[in-house]
Amino acid sequence: MRYTLTLALVLAAALPVQAGLIYTFSYTASSGTVQSFSFSMFSPTFIGPGTPPLSPFTITDRSTILPVTQALVGISTGIVLGSTFLPAGDGCFAFGSPDTELAQFHGCGAAMPNNGVSQAELVVDLSGGLPSSTGTFSNLIFDGIVILQPSLTEDPFYNCCNAGATGTLQLTIVQIPEPRSFGLLVLGICLIGTVLLAKHYSGG
């Protein structure tokens, strides 16, 4: 009993220290040179306009691996993404490598200075506004590009611009449970198991 209780307390202590939401973006390539990738963002609440923290991820194009370290979130005021018009009120996420310039241009946007450094950017549209509920948001409109230096090779990846798509982008938002309630659940399961084992070995 003592060891089981100790195990339960250890499991409860190892649970997440903060409840919140995890946003996972997944790009699945069907053509082009940019490979499939996915990354996640944590937020204690649903993400609103601003510059949320981003755990760096990478985009791989040909043999070049590019770090993406910046994020910007906004609400479209009516912007053209490539040649696709994003209505006012749509939500927008922009991501970029360290030298990419993210700005609230008509809500959300990115630009790449020609500074001799390879860069990557991705702008994602959320129809109807920024998400306010958990779930999966599929077949998103997005526009991304990688510029490789010193050749100035441009490799786009997109689902927009009246030009078909190089792949699909999906956003999944899941809730992280409250650590205390989840920890109590684990503790309860362990204690119930202990009682059942005690009855089994006692013949009860």
DSSP string across 56-73? -EEEEETTEEEEE-EEEE
Calculate the alpha carbon distances from 27 to 31, 101, 171 in Å: 12, 22, 9
- pLDDT of residue 47 exceeding 80, the answer is yes
What is the per-residue pLDDT for 66? 96
User: Is residue 3 assigned to a domain?
Assistant: no
More confident residue, 20 or 201: 20
- pLDDT of residue 49 exceeding 80, the answer is yes
What is the per-residue pLDDT for 4? 42
- pLDDT of residue 116 exceeding 70, the answer is yes
What is d(CA 76, CA 141) in angstroms, rounded to the nearest whole number? 13
What is the per-residue pLDDT for 46? 97
What is the per-residue pLDDT for 178? 74
Nearest to 43 by CA among 25, 21, 76: 21
Cβ contacts of residue 139 below 8 Å, gap of 6+?
Answer: 159, 168, 169, 170
Q: What six digits make up the tokens of 64? A: 């070049």
Strand pairing class (167-176; 20-29): antiparallel
What is the per-residue pLDDT for 109? 78
Q: What six digits make up the tokens of 94? A: 């922009």
**Residues of the domain holding 168:** 20-183
What is the per-residue pLDDT for 197? 46
Q: Are 171 and 131 in contact (CB under 8 A)?
A: yes
18 confidence band (pLDDT: 50, 70, 90):
low
User: Is residue 173 assigned to a domain?
Assistant: yes
Number of independent structural domains in the chain: 1
User: Is residue 7 assigned to a domain?
Assistant: no
Q: Could you read off the pLDDT of 147-203 as tens digits, one per residue?
A: 999 999 999 999 987 778 999 999 999 999 876 554 544 545 554 555 444 544 455
What is the per-residue pLDDT for 114? 85
Please report which residue ranges of the chain form alpha helices under DSSP H. Answer: 2-13, 179-202
21 confidence band (pLDDT: 50, 70, 90):
very high
What is the per-residue pLDDT for 16? 45
73 confidence band (pLDDT: 50, 70, 90):
very high
User: Is residue 162 assigned to a domain?
Assistant: yes
More confident residue, 40 or 192: 40
What is the per-residue pLDDT for 166? 96
Buried b or exposed e, range 7-24, using 16+ CB within 10 angstroms:
ebeeebeebeeeeebebe
111 confidence band (pLDDT: 50, 70, 90):
confident
What is d(CA 93, CA 76) in angstroms, rounded to the nearest whole number? 10
What is d(CA 19, CA 97) in angstroms, rounded to the nearest whole number? 29
User: Is residue 4 assigned to a domain?
Assistant: no
- pLDDT of residue 83 exceeding 80, the answer is no
Which of the 8 DSSP states describes residue 50?
B
Nearest to 32 by CA among 153, 141, 168, 167: 167
User: Is residue 11 assigned to a domain?
Assistant: no
User: Is residue 55 assigned to a domain?
Assistant: yes
What is d(CA 23, CA 94) in angstroms, rounded to the nearest whole number? 14
User: Is residue 197 assigned to a domain?
Assistant: no
